[in-house]
């Protein structure tokens, strides 16, 4: 483990963050693929602390506040939970791009706020190296209603 990676894991422990076991694929695909220095992660839906799926559409039955407190401990819980579940494939090395997809009603416009938990976690743990480019988009549907 590099000095940087060791420091990152130390900050995780200091923040009381325990990495969850990443979910198994629901079909015949890999959870991640690495091509050179690029790592591609499969999408993940919002999970409860016991591994069940949270469903619903932000802006139509699910408020922004509910979407922020649905899963893992901490601010912006769903997005933070996604980041923590995706952690293991890339072993804590900082990355510089995040794409967040939000199951949202057609008139919902606050997608970036829903994804903030992921970005906040990366900056909290990686510090300056955690700053990244980001897309936050709304989709009309996501697998299994998540």
Contacts 24+ apart (CB under 8 A), 20-27: 20/72, 20/81, 20/84, 20/85, 22/85, 22/86, 22/87, 22/88, 22/89, 23/47, 23/51, 23/85, 26/143, 26/144
Most distant pair of Cα atoms in the chain: their distance: 46
The listed CATH number (3.40.50.620, 3.90.180.10, 3.40.50.970, 3.30.1330.40) that belongs to domain 3-17+52-145: 3.30.1330.40
What CA–CA distance (Å, rounded) separates 102 from 2? 34
The pLDDT score that the predictor gives to residue 137 is: 92
pLDDT digits (tens, 9 = 90+) for 39-87: 777 777 776 666 677 788 888 988 877 776 654 444 445 667 667 766 6
Percent of the chain beyond pLDDT 90?
9
């Amino acid at each position: 483990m590099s000095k940087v990676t060791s420091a990152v894991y130390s900050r995780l422990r200091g923040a009381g963050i325990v990495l969850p076991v990443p979910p198994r694929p629901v079909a015949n695909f890999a959870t991640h693929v690495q091509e050179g220095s690029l790592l591609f992660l499969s999408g993940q839906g919002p999970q409860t602390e016991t591994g069940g799926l949270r469903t619903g559409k932000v802006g139509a039955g699910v408020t922004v506040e509910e979407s922020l407190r649905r899963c893992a401990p901490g601010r912006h819980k769903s997005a933070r939970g996604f980041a923590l579940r995706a952690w293991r494939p890339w072993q804590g090395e900082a990355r510089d791009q995040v794409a967040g997809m939000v199951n949202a009603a057609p008139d919902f416009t606050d997608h970036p706020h829903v994804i903030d938990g992921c970005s906040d976690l990366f900056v909290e743990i990686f510090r300056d190296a955690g700053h990244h480019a980001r897309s936050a988009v709304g989709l009309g549907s996501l697998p299994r209603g998540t």
